[in-house]
Amino acid sequence: MTLLITILLAPLALLAAFFALEVAAGLFGARDEGVRTSEASAAIVIPAHDEAAVIGETLGKLREALGPEMRILVVADNCADSTALKAREAGAEVIERREPGRRGKGHALSFATRHLEAAPPEVVVVLDADCAIDRDSLAVLVASAASGRPSQSINLLRPDRVASPLVQLSSFAFMLKNLVRQRGLQRLAGRVHLTGTGMALPFALFRVSADARSSIVEDLAIGLELAEKGHWPRLVAGATVWSGAAGEAGTLVQRRRWEGGFLATAARHGPRVMLRGLTRGDIRGVLAGLDLLLPPLALFALLNAAALVLASVLTVVFGAGWWPVATQLSLLAVAALAVFAAWLREGRRFVSLAVLARIPLYMLWKLPLYLGLARRGSPSEWLRTGR
C-alpha cells in the first residue's frame, strides 16, 4: 500500500518540486540579451470584438508609442457595435470580418495575415484591445522579433489594491505566471510561452503558424508549434504590456477561457514535449514539458489537497508508511515558501499580505470553474471579458 500511495503522489511531487525550482529561478531579472532597437517595419495587429468602449483610448495611447516604421491594423471581428468606426476615427487601418460560425481571436489573426501579405511588415506585434504598451517597450519588442525569434513581452494586469480580494489574488497569480515563472522558464529551458497580447513574431513565422490559430488559446499553441520547429520564443525583459483587471464575474469568464484552453493544449502537447526531451537527452525540453503539465495555481493546490486527503485515509486504513505523505507536504511547504518569496520580490504591489492569506478562499472561488470545465470541457470560441 505504501508503494501505491507513492505512485499516487509521485506526479504531484515532481510538479511541486519543479514549480518551486521555476519560481526560485524567476525571482531575479532576466539576463539582458543585448536587444535594443531596430528600424524594422512592424504592424501592430489588434483583434477586437465589440470593443467600442475602449478601442479609442487604446489607439490614442498606442499612436504615441509608435516608431517611424510602425502601423496599426485593427481587425473588427464579428462586431455588433461601432468598434470599426471608432478605430477609423482614431486613425487606425481597419479591416472587418463577418463569419459568425468561425469566431475567435485566432481566426481574426489569420484574417489579418491574409491582409498583410499584400504589403508585409518585417514584424507583427499582437496587442489586445484593452492593453497599453509604452514607446520603449514597443521598440525593444520589435527589435527582438526582428532578430529572428518569436518574442513575448511581460504581460501583467495593473495593480488595484482597492479591488476585491479575489480579483487581487487573481492579478497576483497572473503576475506569478507571466513574470516570475516566465523568467524562471527562460532561465531553465531557454524559452517561454507566448501569452497573446504583447507578443511579436517575424512576419515569416507569423504567416506559417496559421494552423495553430483555431485553438482557443492560439497564443500558447503558436508558441508551441514554433518551438517544435526550433524557433524558441524568448522573454523580452525590457518590454511590458499592461491590461486592466476585470471584476470578479469578468475575471471568471477570462479564466474559464484561458485555463480551459491551457489545460486542453497542455494535455495535448506537454507529454510529447517531455517525451521528446527524454529521448533526445535534452533536459531543457524535459523542463519545458514539465512547465506545460503544471496546472494553474488554484487547480494545482486543489489537486494536491484532494490527493493528500486520499493518501492520508489510505495510510490510516491500511497501516501504510507515512513518508510519502510527509514528503509531499514538505515539497508543498517549499513551493509555498517560493510563492511567498515571489510576493516579497514582485507581488506586494498587487496584493497585501492580509489578502494573500486568503488563498484558500481563492481556491474555493475557482472551484465552480473547474467543475464546469470537467462537465463541459474548455470553451470553443472567443469569450470576451467584461470591462
CA distance 1 to 319: 8
User: Residue 75: its pLDDT value, please?
Assistant: 96
pTM of the full structure: 0.88
User: Residue 31: its pLDDT value, please?
Assistant: 60
- Of the candidates 257, 259, 185, 258, which has an alpha carbon nearest to the alpha carbon of residue 227? 185
The count of other CB atoms within 10 Å of the CB of residue 86 is: 22
Domains of the chain from N-terminus onward: 2-27+295-376 (no CATH), 42-268 (3.90.550.10)
Predicted confidence (pLDDT) per residue in 329-347, tens digit = 999 999 999 999 999 999 9
User: Residue 105: its pLDDT value, please?
Assistant: 82
**Segments of the chain scoring below 70 in pLDDT:** 30-37, 209-218, 246-258, 260-261, 373-374, 376-387
Beta carbons within 8 Å of 30's beta carbon, 6+ residues apart: 183, 186, 187, 235, 237
Predicted confidence (pLDDT) per residue in 234-263, tens digit = 999 999 999 987 666 666 666 666 676 677
Decide: 54 and 210 in contact? Cβ < 8 Å: no
User: Residue 223: its pLDDT value, please?
Assistant: 82
CA distance 55 to 12: 43
Share of the chain above pLDDT 90, in %: 60
Exposure string over 96-134, b if 16+ CB within 10 A, otherwise e: ebeeeeebbbbbbbbbbbebbeeeebbbbbbbbbbbbbe
User: Residue 326: its pLDDT value, please?
Assistant: 95
Strands 42-48 vs 123-126: parallel, antiparallel or unpaired: parallel
Q: Is 223 exposed, middle or buried (0-12, 13-18, 19+ CB in 10 A)?
A: buried
User: Residue 64: its pLDDT value, please?
Assistant: 94
Decide: 65 and 135 in contact? Cβ < 8 Å: yes
